[in-house]
């Protein structure tokens, strides 16, 4: 057996005040159990936890351990400016004219930390593609569920776009796909030549074969909850599974990033199918489409609208000057960066 890091503990003069600063840094919150004047304050985030403890001794020298931050939705320099506005101070500028490097800041009590380039900046600097991540899965499912929840329709048994399934069945199929990709990464030794052996069956002749069925009595709200739950399972498995793990897919062995990208493509295109059936607008983010295209369809055209290209790759749209796709498969095997 091994040990896990429960949290990183930081000594300070005012636990709650410093925890509040770091909660703003991480886009999180101080624990509801802690308040001003408490000797301890906890900040939890999806990537870890920081525990602040008030001590009488002042900080006297440079920290032997520090945190390195990577912005997720802005550039390194934009993040530095945001943190300075929150109360940090710049203590060392190691940024280079070519865009590389980092900035060393200190929190309001003088604890040093660094801000590095975000994933997008790193990809631009190194000429590599941006990876598909667990956060991308979460984003895709959140956007899909949010869009479908806006439908005023009471009857979700209407056809989902050009599919032979109705809208309810298609959402069930989508949630089942996300679940299936998640469980492929779950066993201690993921299967290399078959799916994890859940039983699949259609609810009616001609319907999709699935393992998970939403309770009709829960209505559309319940149906979308099952979709969000399956998305959360896939996101968690992608986030926690080592990158070198491989598991079976009918198009070839894949890695956690591949299963994430597959789940996102299923989410984007099937949400479009359902949105069409329910007369809802649906246009996912271009950058999200671009990341999954680069991972699963590396030979896709790169000079057209990314969402339209993804629809074309999956046989759902035309591209000028190109034959319509009638049979397709994605590249499930890991790619060299």
The string of pLDDT tens digits covering residues 177-230 is: 999 999 999 999 999 999 999 999 999 999 999 999 999 999 999 999 999 999
Q: Output the CA–CA distances (angstroms, integers) from residue 30 to 50, 160, 215, 254, in the order listed.
A: 10, 44, 37, 38
Query: What do you get for the CA distance between the two ends of the chain, in Å?
Result: 33
Q: 308 pLDDT exceeds 80? A: yes
Structure tokens at 10: 């930081």
What pLDDT band is residue 1 in, cutting at 50, 70 and 90? low
Q: Span 51-61, mean pLDDT?
A: 94
The number of beta carbons lying within 10 Å of the beta carbon of residue 270 is: 24
Q: In this predicted model, what pLDDT tens digit does every residue of 24-49 receive, in sequence order?
A: 999 999 999 999 999 999 999 877 89
Q: Output the CA–CA distances (angstroms, integers) from residue 200 to 50, 172, 210, 307, in the order listed.
A: 43, 12, 5, 31
Q: In this predicted model, what pLDDT tens digit does every residue of 220-260 receive, in sequence order?
A: 999 999 999 999 999 999 999 999 999 999 999 999 999 99
Q: In this predicted model, what pLDDT tens digit does every residue of 126-146 receive, in sequence order?
A: 888 889 999 999 999 999 999
Share of the chain above pLDDT 90, in %: 88
User: For the whole model, what pTM was predicted?
Assistant: 0.78
CA contacts within 13 A on the Cβ side of 19: 30
Q: 337 pLDDT exceeds 70? A: no
Q: 73 pLDDT exceeds 90? A: no
Q: Span 289-296, mean pLDDT?
A: 96
Q: 289 pLDDT exceeds 60? A: yes
The sign of the CA dihedral 249, 254, 256, 260 is negative
Least confident of 46-60, 77-91, 194-208: 46-60
- Can you spell out the DSSP letters for 138-178? HHHHHHHHHHHTT---S---SB-TTSSSBHHHHHHHHHHHH
Contact predicate 74/32, CB 8 Å = no
């Amino acid at each position: 057996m091994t040990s896990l890091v429960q949290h990183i503990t930081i000594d300070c003069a005012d636990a709650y005040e410093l925890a509040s600063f770091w909660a703003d840094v991480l886009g999180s919150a101080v624990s509801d159990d802690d308040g001003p004047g408490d000797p301890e304050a906890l900040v939890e985030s999806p990537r870890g936890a920081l525990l602040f403890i008030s001590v009488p001794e002042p900080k006297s020298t440079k920290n032997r351990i520090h945190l390195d931050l990577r912005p997720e939705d802005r550039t390194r320099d934009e993040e530095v400016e945001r943190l300075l506005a929150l109360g940090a101070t710049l203590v060392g500028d190691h940024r280079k004219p070519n865009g590389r490097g980092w900035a060393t800041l200190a929190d309001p009590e003088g604890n040093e930390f660094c801000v590095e380039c975000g994933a997008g900046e790193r990809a631009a600097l190194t000429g590599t593609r941006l990876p598909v991540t667990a956060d991308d899965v979460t984003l895709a499912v959140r956007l899909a569920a949010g869009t479908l929840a806006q439908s005023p329709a009471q009857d979700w048994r209407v056809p989902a776009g050009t599919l032979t399934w109705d809208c309810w069945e298609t959402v069930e199929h989508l949630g089942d796909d996300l679940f299936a990709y998640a469980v492929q990464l779950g066993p201690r030794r993921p299967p290399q030549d078959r799916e994890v052996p859940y039983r699949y069956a259609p609810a009616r002749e001609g319907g999709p074969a699935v393992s998970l069925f939403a309770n009709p009595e829960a209505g559309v709200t319940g149906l979308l909850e099952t979709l969000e739950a399956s998305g959360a399972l896939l996101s968690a498995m992608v986030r926690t599974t080592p990158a070198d793990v491989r598991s079976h897919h009918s198009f070839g062995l894949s890695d956690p990033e591949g299963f994430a990208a597959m789940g996102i493509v299923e989410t984007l295109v099937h949400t479009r199918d359902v949105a069409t059936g329910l007369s809802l607008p649906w246009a996912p983010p271009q950058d999200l489409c671009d990341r999954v295209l680069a991972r699963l369809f590396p030979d896709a055209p790169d000079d057209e609208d990314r969402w339209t290209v993804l629809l074309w790759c999956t046989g759902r749209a035309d591209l000028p000057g190109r034959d319509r796709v009638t049979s397709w498969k994605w590249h499930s095997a890991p790619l060299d960066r």
